């Protein structure tokens, strides 16, 4: 329960910082920041889903689920803020995030083949 409360507080602080940044920065910098934040959030959701699908360890699965829930909520709030500010957000992972996902997916596959439970 403490972990969930801390997670909610952290998420709220991040969103507050985002709102402050979007309202106080130059429009170009805000758009760039929002796009990077959106990509990062989508990557966190994708990594959480990967952990849910491939991990054998219940703690890893639980953490993956928390990543999906928290970062999906943050992403939805970012979309709402971006819409009010008329900012365009990416709808897919960037090349760096896709590369990281491919590497981690391969690592999971290799460990499973070796009989190592993650």
User: What per-residue confidence (pLDDT) applies to 113?
Assistant: 57
| Residue that wins the pLDDT comparison between 117 and 6 | 117
Q: pLDDT at position 118, please? A: 57
What pLDDT score was predicted for residue 88?
Answer: 92
Q: What is the pLDDT of residue 5?
A: 46
Cα-based torsion angle of the residue sequence 44, 49, 51, 55 in order, rounded to the nearest 10 degrees: 180
Is the pTM of the predicted complex or chain greater than 0.75? Answer: no
User: Does the residue 38 lie in any domain?
Assistant: yes
Residue 18: inside a domain: no
> Is 51 inside any structural domain?
yes
Encode pLDDT of 17-52 as tens digits: 656 555 555 566 888 889 999 999 999 999 899 888
What's the Cα-to-Cα distance from 118 to each of 17, 74, 104, rounded to whole Å?
Answer: 34, 27, 12
Evaluate whether residue 88 is within a structural domain: yes
Return the residue matching tokens 């709030």. Answer: 77
- What was the pLDDT predicted at 8? 55
Q: For residue 10, what pLDDT is reported?
A: 56
Domain count, the chain: 1
Report yes or no on 79 lying in a domain: yes
Please tell me which residue, 22 or 62, carries the higher pLDDT value.
Answer: 62
Cα within 13 Å of Cα(98), Cβ side: 5
- 29 contacts: CB under 8 Å, gap ≥ 6: none
Q: Which of 82, 93, 89 is nearest to 18 (CA)?
A: 82
pLDDT digits 0-9 by tens, 65-98: 999 999 999 999 999 999 999 999 999 988 888 8
> Do the domain assignments include residue 21?
no
Domain assignment present for 57: yes
Domain that holds residue 103: 28-113
- Domain assignment of residue 14, yes or no: no
């Amino acid at each position: 329960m403490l972990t969930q409360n801390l997670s909610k507080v952290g998420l709220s602080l991040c969103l507050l910082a985002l709102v402050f940044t979007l309202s106080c920065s130059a429009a170009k910098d805000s758009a760039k920041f929002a796009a990077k934040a959106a990509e990062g959030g989508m990557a966190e959701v994708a990594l959480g889903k990967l952990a849910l699908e491939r991990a054998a360890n219940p703690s890893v699965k639980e953490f993956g689920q928390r990543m999906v829930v928290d970062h999906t909520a943050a992403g939805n709030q970012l979309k709402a803020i971006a819409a009010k500010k008329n900012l365009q957000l990416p709808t897919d992972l960037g090349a760096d995030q896709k590369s990281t996902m491919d590497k981690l997916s391969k690592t999971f596959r290799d460990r499973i083949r070796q009989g190592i439970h993650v």
